[in-house]
Amino acid sequence: MAKSWQDIEEKKNLAVVIGRFQPFHYGHVYNIDRGLKEAKKVLVLVGSAFNSRSPKNPFTFEEREKMIRDHYRGSPNWDRIEVEPLPDYIYEENQWIADVQEIVTSFATETVALIGHEKDESSYYLKNFPQWEFLETGRWPSQIKTVDATQIRELYFDHDLRFVQGVVPSTTYLFLEDFARGEIYTGLQEEKKFIDDYRASWSNSPFPPTFNTVDAVVIQSGHILLIRRKVQPGKNLMAMPGGFINQYEKLEDAVIRELREETKLKVTVPFLRGSIVKQKTFDNPNRSQRGRTITQAFLFQLKNDEELPKVKGSDDAKEAMWVPLSDLYNMESELYEDHYYIIRKMIDNE
C-alpha cells in the first residue's frame, strides 16, 4: 500500500525517480522535487539511455542529463541529485530490473523510496520493486497535469517551438531552441513526417493493421553482417538486413530474398537455407513507430573462413558491411529501433 507524502515521518536515504525525460519537463521537476523533500538524496535514472535517435527518442543520455542538471544548477539541492543512465532491455525485462536494483544499491541499501504516479499501463514498472517503499505522487498540479513528453515532442516537431515554452523549465527551453537550429532536428522532423504519413495511409482501416517483417542475423568468423539504411525511417542508421513479407511468400523465403537483395551476399540460396540455426518472433507492441509490426528473426551461422564473403549495399541499403562482434556491443546508439536488442537476444541466448 503506497503511503501519502503526509505519512512519511523522516527522510529516506534515497528517493528514486525513473523516466525517459524526452524531454525534461515540469512534471519531472515535480517528481524530483518531491523526492528532495522526502529523502536525503535523489537518484534519477534516465531510461532508454543508449537508444539511437528517433522522433520518440530524440535526445541522448548526455543531453537529457544536461537538461536535468542545468535546471538545478546553483540551487541548494545541486549536490543531492544523482543522474545515471539506464539501458533498455526490451526482450529481457528481468535484466532491466536487475540493472535498476544494482544501480540503486550502489547508492543506498536501506530506506529507499520509489517516486512515481500510476497514471496508466506505462507505469507498470513501478510494481517491480516491492523491496522499496512506493510513494505515490498523485496527480500533478492542475496547470501541468495534462502535459506529457509525448505531447511535447509532437508540438516540438510539428509546430512553433513557443508552444512548449510553458511546460518545460527555462533551461530546457533554451536547450530545445538551440537543438532546433541543427541538422539533427531537421532529420528528426523529416522522419516524423514520414511516420505520420505512413500511419495516415492506413488510418481509415476498420482495424489497425499488423505488419509482418523478417530480419536476418548473419554471423561468420566472429563478424555480423549489417546494413546502413538508405531511406526513412531510420535513415543512415545501422540495421539487420530485412523487410516486409510479400503476399504469397513464406517467412524463410522472404528473409533470404531480403538478405540477398540488400547485401548482394555471394552465398547460394541452398547454402543459406542450411545455415539457419535459429528463428524467433519479436512482437513488442511498441517496437516500431510505424505501427504494430511483428518480425521473425533468423540466425544464419555461416561456415567460418579466413575470408568473409563480399557484400555491397543495394535496394533499401545504402551500404552493407561485416562488423566485428566486439564492435557490435558498443553500437546500441547506432542501430535502428530494437535491432540491437534482437541481435543480442539471438546471439547471446543460443
The 8-class DSSP code of residue 163 comes to G
Q: Report which of 265, 22, 181, 8 is spatially closest to residue 111, judged by C-alpha positions.
A: 8
| Of 258, 319, 332, 334, catalytic | 319
Q: In the chain, which ranges are E strands?
A: 12-19, 39-46, 81-85, 112-116, 133-136, 211-220, 223-229, 238-239, 242-244, 276-282, 293-301, 317-324
Task: Write the DSSP assignment of 288-347 as a string of letters.
Answer: -TTS-EEEEEEEEEPPP-SSPPP----TTEEEEEEEEHHHHTT-GGGB-TTHHHHHHHHH
Other Cβ atoms closer than 10 A to 317: 24
d(C-alpha 93, C-alpha 333), whole Å: 19
The 8-class DSSP code of residue 180 comes to T
Instruction: Name the pairing type of β-strands 12-19 and 112-116.
Output: parallel
Instruction: Name the pairing type of β-strands 276-282 and 238-239.
Output: unpaired
Contact 108, 13 (CB under 8 A): yes
What is the four-CA torsion angle of 185, 189, 195, 196, rounded to 10 degrees? 140
319 is known as an active-site residue: yes
Cβ-Cβ contacts under 8 Å for 284 (sequence gap 6 or more): 90, 91, 338
Active site residues: 319
